[in-house]
Structure 1
Amino acid sequence: MRIGTLSTRTGLSRDSLRFYEKRGLLQARRSANGYRDYPEEAVQWLGYVRTAQQLGFTLAEIAADLPRLIQGVDAGPALRATLSRKLADIDARITALQALRGDLAIRLAETPESGIDCPLRPAA
């Protein structure tokens, strides 16, 4: 299918499709006139890519892991391991953000209304 059709069926812009192709996440054959020709499976594949992005996976992670996981005969254990790693990464980021929020709240509480003292001074 041509890029316009794929764009319509996936809701992704043509520029996004070209970007995914440039990153190796999408493959198209070139017809004799130079037009991109995408296989029917590209619609489903792009659905996987978008879902993975919504779950917090980077494009590099998607490129490295998803093809192997989706095409694997017994991909369940590998997929569980990948999702567990991502969940641990998110938990670590939440912990770091909570610490950052606490630090900002303390500095805000210590800053007088006049704003004379800068809240970005080093903590005591």
Structure 2
Amino acid sequence: MRIGQLSAATGVSRDTLRFYEDQGLIRARRLENGYRDYPDEVQALVHYIKTAQKLGFTLAEVGNKLPAVWGAPEPGPAIAQLLAEKLHEIDERIEGLRGLRDQLAVRVALECPLLNGPAAKRD
């Protein structure tokens, strides 16, 4: 499958596909004329990468976990584990943000020096 065909099939731009290849996320063999030739399974892999990004995974995270997930005989359990780990990470981030929000709310209620200190006075 050529890059234009893969782009049309996945909705991912040619530039993005080249970037994925540069990052080692997908592979193509080169034809004699220099064109990229992607195996058919790369289409599913590109969909996996895009879905992972939509779920909050960085390309670095995708790349680090790709061999374990994509190379597994049955990727379902490996993917479920990754999703559970990401969910835990997001829950921790939410908890940290709640704590930060609570601190800010207290400072606002106490008319914090950050709001009413010398730097805030303008004459």
For the criterion TM > 0.5, the same-fold answer is yes
Q: Smaller-chain TM-score range?
A: 0.7 to 0.9
Decide whether aligned partners of structure 1 residues 28 and 56 sit closer, same or farther in structure 2, where only a CA change above 3 A counts: same
Distance 1:117 1:30 in 2: 65
Q: In structure 1, what is the equivalent of residue 95 of structure 2?
A: 95
CA change 1:13–1:82 in 2 (3 A) is: same
Counterparts in 2 of 1:34 and 1:53: CA distance versus 1, 3 Å: same
TM-score normalized by the length of structure 1: 0.78
C-alpha root-mean-square deviation of aligned residues, in Å? 2.7
- Displacement of 1:18 in angstroms is 1.1
- What stretches of structure 1 move > 6 A for 4+ residues in a row? none
Matching residue of 2:40: 40
Amino acid at match of 2:10: T
Q: Which structure: greater helix fraction?
A: 2
In structure 1, distance between residues paired with 2:72 and 2:106: 50
> Please, which runs of 5 or more residues in structure 2 have no aligned partner?
118-123
Distance 1:44 1:36 in 2: 17
Q: Percent identity?
A: 51
Number of residue pairs matched by the alignment: 118
Alignment pair present for 1:62 and 2:42: no
Tell me the TM-score normalized by structure 2: 0.78
> Where does structure 1 lack aligned partners over 5 or more consecutive residues?
119-124
Change (3 A) 1:41 1:74: closer
The alpha-carbon deviation at position 33 of structure 1 amounts to 1.5
